[in-house]
Chain A
Amino acid sequence: MKKLIASLIAASLASVPAYAVDLHGRVSEAVFYLTDDATVQNYNFTRTRLALEATNFDGEDNTFRFDGSYRTKSSYDYNTRTPDTRIDVMNVEMLKAFTDTDVTIGRQYIESLVGARVDGALLNLHLDAAKGAGFFGGTAPDPYNDDLTSAFTTYGAYGYWKEKDGGVTAGYATSLYKGKEDLAYLFGSAYLTPDDELSMYGSVRLDHNITAQNGYDITNLLLTANYRWGWEARVNLTLNQYRGLWMQESMDYNVTHEMQRSARVYADYSLSRSSKVYGQFDYRTRDSDDKSASLYGIGYRDSELWGALFYNVGYRGINYFTSKSWQVYVSGGAQPRDDLTAELGVSYLNNTQDKPENSMTQMVYTASANWLVSKSLYFNGVVEYSTEKFLSVDSVYLAKYKDEYKSTAIWANLDYRF
């Protein structure tokens, strides 16, 4: 406990000269700005993130980490349920706080147990280099607005065994809303890489269904396998089935408890050192629909044209149950130096909603840049400008305001590491 307290102090007062500590970290500020002439509303928010790692605190062999991410919106939002501020993560971690046990306190995702979040504590026990177990508990962030609340509580545990060639993780988590079970599920995942060519990954989530006489429904199942022939060709097969999360006690709106399934194959083939053709096909079904969806795409990319240029062209076709779309896109850029990448892209999308006369076209222009200004300073940003033209007399909502909408979105992130 003494170390734990020290970790908290280290994270917050690491820069105080009285403490000798090796401190490294990262602070980033991201801005998102969206304006659309379809509405007077803008959508803006900023996100601030601070990550710290303090080692050798007070001359001892120890490591403390702090991770915090805070989001605040600065624009009007007609949905009063969305909070003006949101804390994604805010936690302090101490490695080997108790012999081989790492302790993390605060708001955090439980990385080994997909879907679990807690405002509380996590004990991650390393049995050896490959095996370990974790236990967590506390209140849970409000799933609807991320508020810190005592209405939701959660706890769970997991174990893992991870070697270079294979590993298994299994765990259980439950979330209570005002003392009643809101969500409870078992989660397991495994990976296997028998050789350099083949890798397989699978995960399954079984949610407790109160109405199904204490039975468990498969909420999510994923099986994916990658195989490559040297570096020249690769194929990926993925099977996935999913149903919406149902927070049985707290949810005051409807989700369809239907199962959706997807079978996807992706393949690429390298024509040269830097160029490849790729394609994918995704076939989907859902319980509520007697139709099926198919998504397919082909493309060609070259990552090193004339040394510093790259480009990507492709086509996507989407027949998504009730709508049909096709899209062509081309993007290209330059990486004149390892620390600078700039890219321009344009795509054209044609969408017919429920009938051909309700077609809509969209042109999207993007410009992005990634720039490692110095060893410590990193910037990346995207500007996206789109125009949408509704060619039908009436839109899908049987109302018409304009024939053409224009929108601009900007995402910019500045990252400082020390």
Chain B
Amino acid sequence: MHKDEYKGEEVVQRIIGLLGICVCLLFSPAFAVDFGSLISPGDLSSYHKELDGMANCTKCHAVGGGIQNETCNSCHKDIGAAQLVKKGLHGAVASQRCVECHSDHKGRSYSMVEWDPKTFDHGKTGYKLAGKHAKTDCAKCHKTKTKLGFYSYSGLATACKSCHEDIHKGTLKDACETCHNTNTWRGKDVTFDHNKVYKLDGKHTDVKCQKCHPAKGMFQVAEKEKCITCHKKDDKHKGQLGAACEKCHQAAGWKDILFDHSTTKYGLQGKHTKVACEKCHHEKGKGVFKVAKYDTCDAPGCHDKGKFGNVHETQFLGVACAKCHTVEGFKPSLFKHESPDYLGFKLKGKHAQVECGKCHRPLAVTKMALFKPMASSTCDVAGCHDIKARGNIHGVQFKGQKCESCHIEEGWKPTLFKHGAEAYKGYKLEGKHAQVECQKCHRADPATQVVLFKPIDAASCSGAFCHDVKERGNIHGAQFKDRKCNDCHTVQGWKPSAFDHNADSYKGYKLEGKHAQAKCQKCHLPAGDGTVAYRPIDTKSCASALCHKDPHARQFADKECDQCHTPKAWKELTFNHVTQARFPLEGKHVSTQCEKCHIGKVWKPLKEDCLACHAKDDDKAHKGKMGAKCEQCHTAQTWEPKSFFHEVTGFALEGAHTQITCNKCHKTKGVFTGQGPECVKCHTDAHQNQFGPATCADCHTAKNWFPERFRHSQTGFRLEGGHRAAKCESCHVGRAYRSVTQDCYTCHAAQYAAPAAAIYHTSGNKSCLDCHKVYSWTPAVFTHATMTFSGAHAAIKTTCAKCHNSTTPLTLKWPGATAESQCATCHYPATYNTKHTNCPTDCALCHNTSAWSPIATGVDSTVAGSCN
């Protein structure tokens, strides 16, 4: 048998065994006591406790098995009804079995309905809670309770009225949600469109609802299209004009009247169109627009005297107003004095410009102006130029004389009277007097206001009303009481006076410079009473005499003005800023305006550092980077740094550098920084960069380009002897100043190979110092190794050519004798053969270095004799 097949058979056998054991236990005596409890899965909940017991099983459990919904709904009828119409939560789950959610047999305390009101999705009921509904307590709507005393959450309709009271009392037919939503019940969330019912425009848009709908919630208005429905109390016409308010009024504004007066029998024109209605329709009680009597202008209520002051009273009774007046304006009237039709007084000149009422004055009692012809034969007729009514200034002075003897219609002034006329023998008006108004002298009597044009006292200027102190303010008061005015003044002009401050006769203060041009009262100031004392004033101090205000605010209270100022000109100072100031002015400072530094005319000493005045200049030019020591670069002579103190840059200008222009090195215009001290920035390096640009100053100075600082001894090769005057290029060929070897031959190769010297250098010895000395190249001093220069030889020791030359056959070429004993090397053979035919070749036998001849004493005679 297959192993798996055996295993399956064993499982089946075990299950059958277990079932057998279960059947035995089920029917054993031990379980026979309470069989019902043995088959019940558990106690029913407290809600179903009446259904406990074996006898009640079938009340819920069908015999065929299971619990049918109909069984549950037989008790829970509301649920059943809802499921039947598929409404509410249970209606939505009608296809499900009740026990799927509401199981039982789980004990008495088991709650068959498991739900949390806070998390319950009300949308499952078919009515989703939104807005304020979502926040509303359930019991606000679900108020009904079950017979067990629990709130019943079913059966509630979704209509608003189910929960909300209808404050409209059924007057509104539309559903609530037509106007309301779940956010708020009122206010902005009310979406009612009034215009669909009654268009609100103009002032209506701002009117509160209660104005027209005073009863709460009652919005239906009968005859809403009629204004009077709401505006009945506003009808000031008391129903006189009917209910069609809209004929005259509009929603834009009650007072924006639409009434067209031209529709009446009296159309308004001219000024009438601007007159307020009540001006004519002035019956008691506003809004009463009875028809005014328009046949005549002076109808009661319009231009009649009683109401509107018809100035004519009954003067023109029977004459239509329109005869003289038009609706364009009551004035001017159509009446023309100058009309040819009018035969009365013609208005000419100034008369034509005078208002009618000036002459046709209202009567004192009736206030009525009589436009009747006046007595024009005299000007001073009452109401025109008479003294009482119009102020005839002459009073009765010219009584009997006609006004026109002096005055004309073209103008009351000037008169025809001429002071200067020949016929007039009185005071002649000259100079300024001729320009003065008459009343300047012919003054009105204060009491009567009458002006007497009688001759006045001309003997004294101040005698009459002219220049007397009291009446005309004689500014001298009584100072010149005993003097005549014309001692100083003339009729040509009161000012200047004829008084001459500088006259020799006057011993007081002389006026000089600007003082001579100043007005007298600049110094002779008026006193409190207006009088001016032209007495000598204190001239010791300009300020104390009150002539000059101290513009320095007493900065120089301890100094006299004339220390700085002169009468010549206030601004031409005598103050010497060079000698008197702590900061002497130099250069451009001398011509600079004082206020440039003394801002606000504060003349006190300023800080002496340049930035006190030149801060802006510094900011513009250096942006403060150069520090405050401006004087290091600039002078008062010029702001341009021509005397720039170059030392401050770390590179002092010396020698030739002091005499070149800035742009020789600072080649970019206006840029004076960043140049650096390296000589190569300005100078071409003739040494081909051998020393580097930074070290030029080790040898050169700015005094000149001559390498003044250079000391050859510092290089390890001191210059001695002839080297000291040698031209640098002699050794530093090709301007190679470094890396030249120090052996003589390098520089003296040419001399070494020169033909004249070649004879000496045939040995090839290049140790020059063996023969030459640096302090004297020639003569060379060769130290002969074996040759001694004794006697006469000493004299030729340095004359090498005596022995070493190539022209004389007798002389040996280099090398020559190496010892003095080798006489023949040099002294042979020129004379030897002729004189020494029998002589031995050893010269020293006869000669010595002291003298070649005569031969030395003591020489063997035989030898000497044979020498001959």
Q: Which residues of A contact B (CB under 8 A)?
A: 32, 34-36, 38-39, 41-43, 45, 73, 77-82, 109, 111, 114-115, 143-144, 164-165, 191, 193, 196, 199, 201, 203, 205, 219-220, 222, 224, 226, 228, 230-231, 234, 236, 238, 240, 242-245, 247, 251-258, 260, 262, 264, 266, 268, 270, 273-274, 276, 282, 301, 303-304, 318, 320-323, 325, 327, 335, 338-339, 341, 343, 349, 351, 353, 360, 362, 366, 368, 370, 372, 378, 380-382, 384, 390, 395-399, 401-402, 405, 407, 409, 411, 413
Report 6 cross-chain contacts, Cβ distance below 8 Å, ordered by A residue. Answer: A205-B689, A220-B690, A268-B650, A338-B658, A353-B718, A405-B724
Is there a chain A Cβ closer than 8 Å to B680's Cβ?
yes
0/1 interface trace, chain B 580-592, chain A, CB 8 Å (1 if under): 0000000000000
Pick out which of these stretches binds chain A: B165-173, B532-540, B739-747: B739-747
Q: A114-B680, A325-B713 in contact; A254/B746 too (CB < 8 A)?
A: yes
Report how far A407 CA is from B729 CA in the complex, Å: 19
Q: A370-B658, A407-B724 in contact; A401/B775 too (CB < 8 A)?
A: yes
Is there a chain A Cβ closer than 8 Å to B625's Cβ?
yes
Is there a chain A Cβ closer than 8 Å to B447's Cβ?
no
- Please indicate the chain B residues that have their CB under 8 angstroms from the CB of A43 in the complex: 725-727
Report how far A46 CA is from B708 CA in the complex, Å: 17
Report how far A411 CA is from B681 CA in the complex, Å: 25
- List CB contacts (< 8 Å) of B671-687 with chain A: 671, 673-678, 680-681, 684-686
Is there a chain A Cβ closer than 8 Å to B149's Cβ?
no
Q: A115-B688, A196-B625, A402-B775 in contact; A238/B694 too (CB < 8 A)?
A: yes
Report how far A138 CA is from B14 CA in the complex, Å: 123
Task: Given A164-B671, A196-B674, A380-B655, output 6 extra A-B contacts at Cβ < 8 Å.
Answer: A39-B722, A222-B694, A253-B749, A325-B714, A372-B659, A395-B720
- Please indicate the chain A residues that have their CB under 8 angstroms from the CB of B632 in the complex: 231, 273
Report how far A234 CA is from B675 CA in the complex, Å: 14
Contact of B722 with A78 in the complex, beta carbons under 8 Å: yes
**3 tightest Cβ-Cβ pairs between the two chains A and B:** A244-B739, A193-B674, A401-B775
What is the CB-to-nearest-CB distance from A35 to chain B, in angstroms, rounded to a whole number?
7
Contact of B734 with A144 in the complex, beta carbons under 8 Å: yes
Is there a chain A Cβ closer than 8 Å to B615's Cβ?
no
- List CB contacts (< 8 Å) of B693-750 with chain A: 693-695, 703-704, 706, 708, 711, 713-716, 718, 720-722, 724-727, 729-731, 733-736, 738-741, 746-747, 749-750
- Please indicate the chain B residues that have their CB under 8 angstroms from the CB of A111 in the complex: 684
Contact of B746 with A253 in the complex, beta carbons under 8 Å: yes
Contact of A39 with B692 in the complex, beta carbons under 8 Å: no
0/1 interface trace, chain B 316-331, chain A, CB 8 Å (1 if under): 0000000000000000
Contact of B713 with A38 in the complex, beta carbons under 8 Å: no
Selected contact of A320 from candidates B716, B734, B777, CB within 8 Å: B716
Is there a chain A Cβ closer than 8 Å to B524's Cβ?
no
Report how far A264 CA is from B697 CA in the complex, Å: 13
- Please indicate the chain B residues that have their CB under 8 angstroms from the CB of A252 in the complex: 749
Contact of A397 with B652 in the complex, beta carbons under 8 Å: no
Question: In the complex, which residue of chain B has the Cβ closest to the Cβ of A76?
Answer: B725
Selected contact of B703 from candidates A242, A327, A382, A398, CB within 8 Å: A382
Q: A228-B650, A244-B690 in contact; A39/B713 too (CB < 8 A)?
A: no
Contact of A399 with B713 in the complex, beta carbons under 8 Å: no
- Please indicate the chain B residues that have their CB under 8 angstroms from the CB of A42 in the complex: 725
Contact of B694 with A254 in the complex, beta carbons under 8 Å: no
What is the CB-to-nearest-CB distance from A252 to chain B, in angstroms, rounded to a whole number?
8
Is there a chain A Cβ closer than 8 Å to B275's Cβ?
no
Is there a chain A Cβ closer than 8 Å to B645's Cβ?
yes
Q: A196-B674, A301-B652 in contact; A144/B739 too (CB < 8 A)?
A: no
Question: In the complex, which residue of chain B has the Cβ closest to the Cβ of A278?
Answer: B650
What is the CB-to-nearest-CB distance from A159 to chain B, in angstroms, rounded to a whole number?
18
Question: In the complex, which residue of chain B has the Cβ closest to the Cβ of A108?
Answer: B684
Report how far A304 CA is from B648 CA in the complex, Å: 11
Selected contact of B724 from candidates A38, A143, A273, A360, CB within 8 Å: A38
- Please indicate the chain B residues that have their CB under 8 angstroms from the CB of A390 in the complex: 720
Is there a chain A Cβ closer than 8 Å to B58's Cβ?
no
- Please indicate the chain B residues that have their CB under 8 angstroms from the CB of A80 in the complex: 750-751
- Please indicate the chain A residues that have their CB under 8 angstroms from the CB of B643 in the complex: 338
- Please indicate the chain A residues that have their CB under 8 angstroms from the CB of B750 in the complex: 79-81
Q: By the criterion of a CB under 8 Å from any partner CB, how many residues of chain B are at the interface?
A: 77
- Please indicate the chain A residues that have their CB under 8 angstroms from the CB of B593 in the complex: none
Selected contact of B713 from candidates A109, A143, A362, CB within 8 Å: A362
Is there a chain A Cβ closer than 8 Å to B99's Cβ?
no
Contact of A360 with B718 in the complex, beta carbons under 8 Å: yes
Question: In the complex, which residue of chain B has the Cβ closest to the Cβ of A335?
Answer: B658
What is the CB-to-nearest-CB distance from B655 to chain A, in angstroms, rounded to a whole number?
5
Contact of A236 with B677 in the complex, beta carbons under 8 Å: yes
Report how far A282 CA is from B718 CA in the complex, Å: 21
- Please indicate the chain A residues that have their CB under 8 angstroms from the CB of B277 in the complex: none
Q: A78-B751, A343-B703 in contact; A35/B684 too (CB < 8 A)?
A: no
What is the CB-to-nearest-CB distance from B818 to chain A, in angstroms, rounded to a whole number?
24
Contact of B776 with A39 in the complex, beta carbons under 8 Å: yes
- Please indicate the chain A residues that have their CB under 8 angstroms from the CB of B747 in the complex: 79
- Please indicate the chain A residues that have their CB under 8 angstroms from the CB of B652 in the complex: 301, 303
What is the CB-to-nearest-CB distance from B126 to chain A, in angstroms, rounded to a whole number?
81
- Please indicate the chain B residues that have their CB under 8 angstroms from the CB of A318 in the complex: 714
Question: In the complex, which residue of chain B has the Cβ closest to the Cβ of A390?
Answer: B720
- Please indicate the chain B residues that have their CB under 8 angstroms from the CB of A366 in the complex: 708
Contact of B703 with A370 in the complex, beta carbons under 8 Å: yes
Contact of A109 with B684 in the complex, beta carbons under 8 Å: yes
Report how far A244 CA is from B205 CA in the complex, Å: 106
Contact of B739 with A349 in the complex, beta carbons under 8 Å: no
Contact of B734 with A77 in the complex, beta carbons under 8 Å: no
Is there a chain A Cβ closer than 8 Å to B619's Cβ?
no
Is there a chain A Cβ closer than 8 Å to B649's Cβ?
yes
Report how far A410 CA is from B268 CA in the complex, Å: 123
Is there a chain A Cβ closer than 8 Å to B656's Cβ?
yes
Selected contact of B674 from candidates A41, A165, A257, A395, CB within 8 Å: A165
Report how far A196 CA is from B676 CA in the complex, Å: 10
Contact of B694 with A240 in the complex, beta carbons under 8 Å: yes
Is there a chain A Cβ closer than 8 Å to B214's Cβ?
no
- Please indicate the chain B residues that have their CB under 8 angstroms from the CB of A270 in the complex: 648, 650
Selected contact of A34 from candidates B690, B725, B776, CB within 8 Å: B725
Question: In the complex, which residue of chain A has the Cβ closest to the Cβ of B722?
Answer: A39
Report how far A339 CA is from B660 CA in the complex, Å: 11
Contact of A78 with B777 in the complex, beta carbons under 8 Å: yes
Contact of A38 with B730 in the complex, beta carbons under 8 Å: no
Selected contact of B692 from candidates A115, A222, A405, CB within 8 Å: A222
- List CB contacts (< 8 Å) of B615-632 with chain A: 625-627, 629, 632
Question: In the complex, which residue of chain A has the Cβ closest to the Cβ of B769?
Answer: A397
Is there a chain A Cβ closer than 8 Å to B668's Cβ?
yes
Question: In the complex, which residue of chain A has the Cβ closest to the Cβ of B631?
Answer: A273
Is there a chain A Cβ closer than 8 Å to B338's Cβ?
no
Contact of A196 with B673 in the complex, beta carbons under 8 Å: yes
What is the CB-to-nearest-CB distance from B105 to chain A, in angstroms, rounded to a whole number?
95
Is there a chain A Cβ closer than 8 Å to B292's Cβ?
no
Contact of B724 with A39 in the complex, beta carbons under 8 Å: yes
Q: Which among A32, A45, A79, A274 has the greatest number of chain B C-beta atoms within 10 A? A: A79
Report how far A258 CA is from B741 CA in the complex, Å: 12
Is there a chain A Cβ closer than 8 Å to B356's Cβ?
no
Report how far A243 CA is from B632 CA in the complex, Å: 42
- Please indicate the chain A residues that have their CB under 8 angstroms from the CB of B751 in the complex: 78, 80
What is the CB-to-nearest-CB distance from A54 to chain B, in angstroms, rounded to a whole number?
19
- Please indicate the chain A residues that have their CB under 8 angstroms from the CB of B711 in the complex: 325, 327, 349, 351, 362
Contact of A384 with B708 in the complex, beta carbons under 8 Å: yes
Contact of A38 with B740 in the complex, beta carbons under 8 Å: no
Report how far A260 CA is from B649 CA in the complex, Å: 31
Q: A79-B730, A238-B694, A256-B741 in contact; A273/B708 too (CB < 8 A)?
A: no
Is there a chain A Cβ closer than 8 Å to B550's Cβ?
no
Is there a chain A Cβ closer than 8 Å to B691's Cβ?
yes
Contact of A368 with B655 in the complex, beta carbons under 8 Å: yes
Is there a chain A Cβ closer than 8 Å to B283's Cβ?
no
Report how far A355 CA is from B481 CA in the complex, Å: 118
Selected contact of B706 from candidates A32, A39, A303, CB within 8 Å: A32
